[in-house]
Amino acid sequence: MKINVQFTQPVSAEKMRHNLRHLKKSIAVLRHYIAEVTEDKFYLKDEKGNAATELKYFILEEKQAISFSDFQGKHQSEIEGMLSFRFPEEVGEKAFIHNLEKKTKIYFDLMEYFLIEKDRVYKIGLDCDKLIEIESYRVPRVLKMEVDLT
Tell me, yes or no, whether 48 lies in a domain: yes
Residue 68 structural domain: 3-100
Tell me, yes or no, whether 65 lies in a domain: yes
86 & 130 share domain: no
58 & 117 share domain: no
Give the per-residue SS3 of the chain: CCEEEEECCCCCHHHHHHHHHHHHHHCCCCCCCEEEECCCEEEEECCCCCEEEEEEEEEEHHHCEEEEEEEEECCHHHHHHHHHHHHHHHHCCCEEEEECCCCEEEEECCCCEEEECCCCEEEECCCCCCEEECCHHHCCHHHHHHCCCC
What is the reported pLDDT for 150?
45
Residue 95 has pLDDT above 80, yes or no: yes
89 & 149 share domain: no
Residue 106 has pLDDT above 60, yes or no: yes
134 & 86 share domain: no
86 & 125 share domain: no
32 & 56 share domain: yes
Domain harbouring 33, CATH code: 3.30.310
Tell me, yes or no, whether 38 lies in a domain: yes
> pLDDT grade, residue 5 (50/70/90)?
very high
Tell me, yes or no, whether 94 lies in a domain: yes
> pLDDT grade, residue 146 (50/70/90)?
low
Tell me, yes or no, whether 105 lies in a domain: no
52 & 85 share domain: yes
- 106 close to 97: Cβ distance less than 8 angstroms: yes
State pTM to two decimals: 0.86
